[in-house]
Amino acid sequence: MATELLMPKLGMTMEEGTIVKWFKQVGEQVKEGEILLEIMTDKVNMEVEAPATGQVLALLAPEGAVIEVNKPIAYIGQAGEQVGAAPQTAPQAAPAAPAAPAAAGKTDYQVVVLGGGPGGYVAAIRAAQCGLKTALIEKDSLGGTCLNRGCIPTKALLRSAEVYETIKKAGEFGIAASNVTSDMKAVFARKDRIVKGLVGGIKGLLQANKVDVFNGEGKALTPNQLEITQKDGVKKISTEKLIIATGSTPFLPPIPGADNPGVITSNEALELGKVPQSLVIIGGGVIGLEFAYMMQTFGAKVTIIEMLPRILPMADKEVVDVLVASLKKQGVTIFTNAKVNKISKTASALAVEYEFEGALHTAEGENVLVSTGRAANFTGIEGLGIHEKKGIPVNEKMETKLPGVYAIGDIASKIQLAHVASAQGIVAAENAAGMNSHYSDKIIPSCIYTSPEVAWVGISEAEAKEKYQAIKVGKFPFKASGKAMAYGDTEGFVKVVCDAKYGEILGVHIVGPHATDLVSEGVLAQSLEATLEELGHAIHPHPTLSEALMEAAHVAMGQGIHWK
């Protein structure tokens, strides 16, 4: 009976492989263990050996074909033996690569991107790199929320807070520094300079890639026709493909009194130019926590009111516990399982009434920051009929239900992060150019820039126990790290969560110094399907904070050197 060769499964998450080259043809002899073909996955190229000695009876797929794992690709046996598929005399020629995009003809552009945030401008640049005549429409500043009202300005302010906090502790390092004060006007001015410089950088990148940029409010009249309202009038342009990247806006829940002066969102908080004496934050998510740390460090009395049983419910509980304890030690007051009823104006402040442990309480603040998430922004695409209440449904190619229309970023993703939007922008642009790119949200890092920092990738320890039952967990505290001790920041730990059977890394969770940088090693490890042993045996430089990941892997294997 002929021996069947299946497309091998080379990793836990591998779903398909591409046949790169056949080294034997139908009718030729092959020995068991001899290289029969080369395959390519999304991670590696690998040579596949013949499973038996005999004649190649059938090659079931040509070079260039993409085959699901565990599907038959060849048969080896003796001449005349029957196989499960009709033999081919020779592999077919590899399918032709996508033809270079034709020059725009009946339309003004081959691709138009609506929105210039971290998803939109990246999509426009990638589309242009793929040879498409591309235009980008942005009503405000290039870079979108992330660059102008989110990621970058908050991190600039947080860095100033970190420096201020460090200088106040200078005595611990043997440095004399007295009467340390902050100049909030200068702090906010620095933030503005950083944002302005990066916006200019994006403008230069778009120009270098020959992307036409329209500054105005775009509206999709049809999938192929757009209207742009600019200062000097209304302009219409046409396109073959459309990528929607309109992002999101702060979500304001229907709280009575939320329209009082002094009630702000993150947008207004970044433009305060000063630190309020007291601040009540409604919502204990990422944005709320970052502002809590920053404002408290600069001297504000901060109270967080969170409706859920704990802050950051999506993060590993042990990590969250460390962060909560640290913020409370710094002076931040946190109430969870607390429901806000209303916001009232008093003679000197704003009063937030909330229910906590069966009783009514009031928290007062000079400002109230409402940080309860973000809502998809449908402005300009309402007429296309493709959006639902929370966003636009898309497939793994970022395609909507309308042919030639793609959606990326906060408008189309349940994970509202800038790096997700950028990854999706590349996928959408490549598919608009005729390529076959796919987006997956299986390995997405999350970061919180408080002090201590928090970052993770993969699933939590609780999720792993529920899904896999048998798991291994290794934890290494920064108090055992020589570099952390020298750095003067030993709070927190690294936790590695693995499947006990295969040693597959399921999650990496970090709370402590530079967690948002260290997590990238966990991202790469999961992307390459590295095992616990591979992470633990990889030689890390000493002394570094990154050693904590290696040490955590050692602990998970029961081989802890510097911690048990």
The contacts of residue 237 (CB under 8 Å, 6+ apart) are: 108, 109, 112, 135, 214, 225, 226, 228
Is 182 annotated to bind a ligand? Reply is: no
Residue 132 tokens, joined: 């498409």
* 358 is annotated as contributing to ligand binding: no
3-state helix/strand/coil string of 40-74: ECCCCEEEEECCCCEEEEEECCCCCCEEECCCEEE
- The radius of gyration of the chain from alpha carbons, rounded to an integer in Å, stands at 28
Strand, coil or helix: 300 = coil
Tokens in use for 31? 């020995």
Is 289 labelled as part of a ligand binding site?
A: yes
The residue among 234, 231, 244 whose CA lies nearest residue 136 is 244
Residue 373 known to bind ligand: yes
d(C-alpha 7, C-alpha 38), whole Å: 11
- For residue 107, the one-letter residue type is T
Q: What is the DSSP letter of 504?
A: B
Q: What is the token pair recorded at 264?
A: 């702000």
| Residue (of 100, 138, 96, 101) closest to 121 by Cα position | 138
Q: Is 306 labelled a binding residue?
A: yes
What residue type is 158 in one-letter code?
Answer: L
The one catalytic residue among 361, 419, 537, 542? 542
Residue 290 marked in a binding site = yes
Nearest CA among 448, 518, 399, 486 for reference residue 174: 486
Q: Does the annotation mark 537 as catalytic?
A: no
357 annotated as ligand-binding: no
CA angle 449, 371, 460 (to 5 degrees): 50
Is 24 annotated as belonging to a binding site?
Answer: no
Distance, in Å, from the CA atom of 94 to the CA atom of 40, rounded to the nearest integer, reads 14
Give φ, ψ of 370 to 5 degrees.
-90, 110
Nearest in space to 265 (alpha carbons), one of 390, 418, 368 = 368
Q: Residue 378, Cβ neighbours under 10 Å: how many?
A: 18
CB neighbours of 215 closer than 8 A, spacing ≥ 6? 138, 139, 230
Chain centroid to Cα 28, Å, comes to: 49
Other Cβ atoms less than 10 A from the Cβ of 558: the count is: 9
Q: Could you count the other beta carbons within 10 Å of the beta carbon of residue 120?
A: 29
- Is 549 one of the annotated binding-site residues? no
Long-range CB pairs of 98-104 (<8 Å, 24+ gap) are 98/433, 98/434, 98/435, 99/434, 100/131, 101/130, 101/131, 101/132, 101/433, 101/434, 103/133, 104/133, 104/240
Contacts for 97 with CB less than 8 Å, ≥ 6 apart:
none
User: Annotation-wise, does 119 bind a ligand?
Assistant: no
Two tokens at 219? 């509206």
Determine whether the annotation assigns residue 247 to a binding site.
yes
401 marked as part of a ligand binding site: no
User: Known binder of ligand: residue 136?
Assistant: no
Tokens of 538: 């990889």
Given a contact cutoff of 8 angstroms between Cβ atoms, the answer to whether 90 and 25 are in contact is yes
Is 262 annotated among the ligand-binding residues? no
Was 284 annotated as part of a binding site? Answer: yes
Q: Which of 189, 191, 376, 349 is nearest to 276 (CA)?
A: 349
**Is 408 labelled a binding residue?**
no
Active site residues: 542
Q: Which positions make up the binding site for FAD? A: 155, 218, 246-248, 410
Annotated binding site for NAD(+): 283-290, 306, 373
Residues placed in the known binding site:
155, 218, 246-248, 283-290, 306, 373, 410
